[in-house]
Amino acid sequence: MYQISAKGPRAAIETAWDTLAWTDSSPAGAVDAKEDTRLTWRLDAYAETKEDAEASAALIREATPELNPVIEQLPDRDWVTLSLEGLPPVHAGRFIVAGSHALTATSPGKTDILIEAGPAFGTGHHGTTLGCLLGFEHVLRTGSPKTVLDVGTGSGVLAIAAIKTGTKRAIGTEIDAQSVTVANENARKNNVANRFKTYQTRGATNRIIQAAAPYELIFANILAGPLTRLAPKLVPLVAPGGHIILSGLLTRQEPLVRAAYTGRELSLVKRIRRDGWSTLVLQNRNN
């Protein structure tokens, strides 16, 4: 594993983040940007191979010549798992998301979701996952969706939350084989494997996904670029009166993503902002 780091003004760091996050087949497996000091921001990207790390650094230099990315090889350890160990439970409305080290007896009126620390995204601590759970709370006010599609399911936390609140069937999609394994294992650990399964596929053209449509709820917690490109494929899969919850976009990316979906007979009914990330809840107003 290699880490590619750069420090500089916020505008430059955000430009570099956009470049790595929006590039198709990005050489970086993960990208993070945050405030380092009062005047400086820091970009950290991660790549599996030295070639991918060098390609990531080249993209940063090309997009923002004022940045000087530094490549560092990390010890061979499971950095994602290590970073998540010991994290406290996440409380999101009626949901409590935690690993076995923190998940206690069920709290009255709460829905427990067991998600262990691991390499798949979605423990509830990130602003996008938290936003999706809070957005789902809004959807539940009108009843439990019977069918759910979770695009980029990661750990499977969102689909599991849906099933535990009344969904009859949920399908997850992932482009990463390891995440598929993790999501299906989490379904088993939460005793919902008979109603939730994740498949390795890209986009929404898989025959299994198409055959199960329309969906009363679609989760898509990915990135702004893929969200925008997937709009023509996802919107037709939303059942009349159904909802789609979009996340993985920075607050300043809201207008672009919102326009891609509200221009296709969907209406924005809820917006949630957490830690610089936005979650949009839209509804198909057709009957």
**What pLDDT does 123 receive?**
42
Strand partners, 35: 41
pLDDT tens digits for 199-257? 998 878 788 899 999 999 999 998 888 899 999 999 999 999 999 999 988 888 899 99
**What pLDDT does 167 receive?**
96
Question: 2-76: which CATH number, 3.30.70.120, 3.40.109.10, 3.40.640.10, 3.40.50.280?
Answer: 3.30.70.120
**What pLDDT does 267 receive?**
94
Tokens of 194: 């008979």
Per-residue DSSP letter, 223 = -
Please identify every stretch of the chain with a pLDDT value under 50, giving residue numbers as ranges: 78-87, 106, 118-125
CA distance 163 to 195: 7
1-13 burial: b if 16+ Cβ within 10 Å, else e: bbbbbbbbeeebb
**What pLDDT does 66 receive?**
93
**What pLDDT does 250 receive?**
83
**What pLDDT does 253 receive?**
87
**What pLDDT does 194 receive?**
95
Q: Where are the domains of the chain?
A: 2-76, 118-284
**What pLDDT does 173 receive?**
93
**What pLDDT does 80 receive?**
45
Helix, strand and coil content of the chain, in percent to the nearest 5, comes to 35, 30, 35
CB 99 within 8 A of CB 115: yes
CB 137 within 8 A of CB 92: yes
Sign of CA dihedral 51, 56, 57, 62: positive
Nearest by Cα to 204 from 174, 178, 177, 182: 174
Strand partners, 196: 170
Dihedrals phi, psi of 39, to nearest 5 degrees: -115, -10
**What pLDDT does 178 receive?**
81
pTM, to two decimals: 0.69
CB 258 within 8 A of CB 268: yes
User: What CATH class has 118-284?
Assistant: alpha beta
**What pLDDT does 77 receive?**
54
**What pLDDT does 121 receive?**
42
**What pLDDT does 150 receive?**
95
**What pLDDT does 36 receive?**
73
